[in-house]
Structure 1
Amino acid sequence: MTSGGVGSDPAHSPVGQAPFSSDANSSPSRTERLDSLPVTRKHARILGTSGVGWAMDAMDVGLISFVMAALSVQWSLSTTQTSWLASTGFVGMALGATLGGLLADKFGRRQIFAATLIIYGVATGASALSGSLAVLIVFRFLVGLGLGAELPVASTLISEFSPRAVRGRMVVLLEAFWALGWILAAVIGTFIVSGSADGWRWALALGCIPALYSVVIRRGMPESVRFLESQGKHEEAEAVVRSFEESPALASKKINAMEETVIVHDHAVEQATGIWGRALAKRTAALWVVWFCINFSYYGAFIWIPSLLHAQGFTLVKSFTFTLIITLAQLPGYAVSAFLIERWGRRATLATFLVGSALSAAGYGLADAEWQIIVAGCFLSFFNLGAWGALYAIGPELYPTSLRGTGTGAAAGFGRIASILAPLTVPPLLSFGGQGLLFAVFGIAFAVAALAAFTLPEQRGKALAD
């Protein structure tokens, strides 16, 4: 790794600190300086800024499950029609995830992040005016483009700024904002969507907020230092690093390059020319399998749960209330995942939560009484969203800077294929074998994802490849 223009000038060392490096004759690079920092107020600010955008994504994805249930009654939609309403958004997400990663590697993380918020915010607000299913489906595709592009870009940005010792935890905390957004969607569904005939329109109209929030992203979020260096913008990169070094620390822990935890640089990976090249092909394949299986089970279950509950005889209000209670269990799932990911490591945490998801899916499929539905649903939320947190943490760590957005975006894009198929698969599975078969299939998919997770390299404590 080169110093990226820092050289040996002590003035470029962190304020009030002597230069440190495993090489006594050179100063640390900018990325090493970022890796060594404690968590600062600026880290918290960038996490919060990205997290609010992430939560609004989740709110939008979650709302469609409540809109589906309401429109199936108001517009007398069949299960096939509601399936297409859900799946079309994921078609857009699949394309958006792939394109978003490529564009982020070319134009920068911050610019693409802000652009995606505008796209899906405007499209969501416009969808509130839909007068037919066909028009609503078109807008859901546009919403998906923005959503799909935003998620891998945001996780890449946070991963590249986070101190090495807490990098995984920071990404899991970012992912925890997904639970806040989904809870907000459940609250809106319970009290707004079910409140009147036009409740679903008012709910979608709230989707304009991300477009306004994009202004905050453009003005207040720094560009990735690694991206700036790759573009030869060394002065701008130095200014960004200094802003973090001068920010007040929120935690006293500081990592020194001379500590016992060795910074490992995988030069074979750093020199890789593509995500399917010899150095990266195995991890790319495993990551794609995990993404595919977790998308299939998560969206197959959670997009359909309100409609499934209504089909079981529960009123819309009661179905939405059950969904809200189940959704609340996502928050402790993220909290435990964030705690374990820096103790057990990425691979063990991801695999454990996927196994828990498989068992919970089986339990939900067998649930009959109201208390069983709520308990099994809460366990499914707990384990599944904890797994999502670990997955978003490990993805950006698998690739060098030049391929990081592409690698994470391509995996997310492939996973979205499963999220397209999942809503379409639910009606025939229900017809053939009922809820038991449906959730057994979801459980098997989680188990396959757990096996694939065990083949991923463990990245805890390692420096991001440049």
Structure 2
Amino acid sequence: MTSNTTSLSRAERLDRLPFTRRHLTLLGGSGIGWALDAMEIGLISFVIAQLSITWSADAAALSWVASAGFAGMAIGAALGGLLADRFGRRNVFAVTLLLYGVASGLSALAWSVAVLIVLRFVVGLGLGAELPVASTLVSEFAPKRIRGRVVVILEAFWAVGWIAAALLGYLVIPASADGWRWALLAGALPALWAVVIRWRMPESVRFLESKGRHAEAERIVRRFEESAGDTERANYSAVAPPAGPPPAQTRLGHLFAPTLRPRTVAIWVVWITVNFSYYGAFIWLPSLLVEAGYSLVRSFEYTLLITLAQLPGYAAAAYLVEKWGRRVTLAVFLLGSAVAAVFFGFGAVSGVEAQILAFGALMSFFNLGAWGALYAVTPELYPTPLRATGAGWAAGVGRLASIIAPLSVPPLVALGGPPVVFAVFSAVFLIAAAAAFALPELKGRPLD
């Protein structure tokens, strides 16, 4: 080992490591939480479809069930990012998992649409805060040469959770009038997982250094080095990192500093447009198929098959973010989403099952691949003191569109049915693709 090893910062030492068992543990722990989040959100689309029948609730009232959750997510994402930059990524991640896990379990006991709306708002608070914090934590540990790929793999756990939701929707919800209650009880699992998360996951080394907790940061880096079999390097100490930015650097206004303003505006536009199109389409997907004349069970079956296409979408994005880069991958997948959405909208009323499944699967493939690239690029845009805040506010602002999206579907259906609904989503995907091209390309660069 040459003497210049001692000149490496802790961040550089982490970037030089291979993907180790500790990286896998971190990714798996965060990913299981992520999958549970997706299962929770995905279940609502099936719950809405059943409640429209068992409670005879109208679409306008049920749309508020979904929108209330997204309103909570908007607030949770913004607050969660700020709290994670102040108190640490790991602690906020665990607390938010616990919050939404408990609220989800209580949702299963709701006796009216109004009560369900209130509880879904609380669920959203936890969900919204957890997602950007988890992606920030993973990105800060991943070696820079594969950082984008690792974050896309984390996002791929979303597909696992959404598939689990589709299975619960297909097998459990139609089984009885209270099937939706049993399905929502599964959302209480994160309350138990939060305990595991809190004690097994490391805190971000970059966060610890920004708070002057250098001894703790050094211990964590050495554990990762030892996990890589790099016992010699683990005997070296890193140079002291440069003095951190002043406390004012963590203010929200600094997201719009001259050097950061263009990327903040661009990433907010992408988050807003992707949230609108994705949640508008997928939250109402089972209900739209029922509206088109398919039975509840058949609509759930189609949704399950369409959801399976998420996994290869993530796999393709995980490869391409390190091959093409984040910006091009994100834009191309958004363009693919736009094309698939148009053809799916016409297929939903054509009665041709092959067209529904093919273009639904393509929409799922491209849309979820775009989500993977989006989560990969967002934390990279900001320095450590602003990273969770920047990611959290991008997600939070985007969630405002996810509040509007479910509410917009019933009037769009009344205007022209699924073709109009998905034509609107397609146009919004095109705006997202244009904004993606305005982002800087940060593939392979150090986070700071």
Same fold (TM > 0.5): yes
Alignment pair present for 1:165 and 2:145: yes
CA contact under 8 A between 1:39 and 1:249: conserved in structure 2? no
Alignment pair present for 1:365 and 2:363: no
Alignment pair present for 1:375 and 2:355: no
Residue of structure 2 equivalent to 1:211: 191
CA contact under 8 A between 1:148 and 1:413: conserved in structure 2? yes
What are the within-5 Å matches in structure 2 for residues 143-154 of structure 1? 143-154=123-134
Question: What SS class does the counterpart of residue 209 from structure 2 fall into?
Answer: helix
Alignment-mate amino acid for residue 209 of structure 1: L
- 1:329 and 1:152 mapped to 2: Cα distance? 24
Residue of structure 2 equivalent to 1:58: 38
- 1:272 and 1:127 mapped to 2: Cα distance? 36
CA contact under 8 A between 2:17 and 2:228: conserved in structure 1? no
Deviation track 1:5-61 (CA, whole Å, cap 9, x = no partner) reads xxxxxxxxxxxx43546xxxx610000000111111110110000000000000000
Residues 308 and 19 from structure 1, CA distance in 2 versus in 1: closer, same or farther, beyond 3 angstroms? farther
- 2:61 and 2:96 mapped to 1: Cα distance? 27
Residue of structure 1 equivalent to 2:118: 138
Alignment pair present for 1:126 and 2:106: yes
- 1:375 and 1:63 mapped to 2: Cα distance? 23
What are the within-5 Å matches in structure 2 for residues 246-261 of structure 1? 246-248=226-228
- After superposing on structure 2, the runs of 4+ consecutive aligned residues of structure 1 that deviate more than 2 Å are 17-21
- Alignment RMSD, CA only? 1.5
Alignment-mate amino acid for residue 438 of structure 1: V
Alignment pair present for 1:334 and 2:317: no
Task: Pick the structure with more helix per residue.
Answer: 2
Alignment pair present for 1:283 and 2:263: yes
Alignment pair present for 1:455 and 2:438: yes
Alignment-mate amino acid for residue 349 of structure 1: T
- 1:39 and 1:356 mapped to 2: Cα distance? 31
Instruction: Provide the aligned length of Structure 1 versus Structure 2.
Output: 427
- 1:313 and 1:75 mapped to 2: Cα distance? 20
CA contact under 8 A between 2:39 and 2:165: conserved in structure 1? yes
Unaligned runs of 5+ in 1: 1-16, 251-266
CA contact under 8 A between 2:338 and 2:429: conserved in structure 1? yes
CA contact under 8 A between 2:344 and 2:360: conserved in structure 1? yes
What is the aligned-residue identity percentage?
62
TM-score (norm 1): 0.90
- 1:98 and 1:38 mapped to 2: Cα distance? 33
Query: Which one of the candidate residues 406, 410, 424 is aligned to 2:407?
Result: 424
Deviation track 1:411-443 (CA, whole Å, cap 9, x = no partner) reads 000000000000000011111122111101100
Deviation track 1:213-232 (CA, whole Å, cap 9, x = no partner) reads 00111110000000000111
- 1:111 and 1:272 mapped to 2: Cα distance? 18
Unaligned runs of 5+ in 2: 231-244
Residues 321 and 180 from structure 1, CA distance in 2 versus in 1: closer, same or farther, beyond 3 angstroms? same
TM-score (norm 2): 0.94
* Residue 366 of structure 1, CA deviation: 1.4
Question: What SS class does the counterpart of residue 339 from structure 1 fall into?
Answer: helix
Residues 249 and 137 from structure 1, CA distance in 2 versus in 1: closer, same or farther, beyond 3 angstroms? farther
Alignment pair present for 1:18 and 2:2: yes
CA contact under 8 A between 1:272 and 1:280: conserved in structure 2? no
* Residue 249 of structure 1, CA deviation: 6.6
* Residue 343 of structure 1, CA deviation: 0.7
Deviation track 1:133-166 (CA, whole Å, cap 9, x = no partner) reads 1111110000000000000000000000000100
